[in-house]
Amino acid sequence: MWYNIIITIVTSSGIIGILTKAMLSRLKKVEQRNKALELVVQALLRAEMIEQYEKYKERKHCPIYAKENFENMWVQYESLGANGVMVEIHTKFMSLPE
């Protein structure tokens, strides 16, 4: 009788272990996908901000609505934790005359 209890515990522990391993594996895949999506968004924001900067730098002025849009993109870009050369581009863009 006691062996039935032990078998039940071992079997259920095995099932719990398998389920836990499967859930952890799934969570890891979700985390990897989220990181990839974060990097894609970051790259798209960077590309758009550089494009906008080049466009308005060439025109030698920048309307307020473009600056507001750039600032909105900048806030989201910065929240992703990456800055690098974009700090300088942000500063230059925001200093363009209106």
**Does this model's pTM top 0.85?**
no
Which tens digits make up the pLDDT trace of 5-33?
A: 666 665 666 666 676 777 777 888 888 89
pLDDT at 33: 93
Closest alpha carbon to 71 in 95, 35, 55: 95
pLDDT tens-digit series, residues 63-88? 999 999 999 999 999 998 867 889 99
DSSP structural state of residue 96 = S
What confidence score (pLDDT) does residue 69 get? 97
Which DSSP string do the residues of 11-60 spell out, in sequence order? Answer: HHHHHHHHHHHHHHHHHHHHHHHHHHHHHHHHHHHHHHHHHHHHHHHHHT
- C-alpha R_g of the chain: 26
- Check whether 44 has a pLDDT greater than 90: yes
Q: What is the pLDDT of residue 27?
A: 80
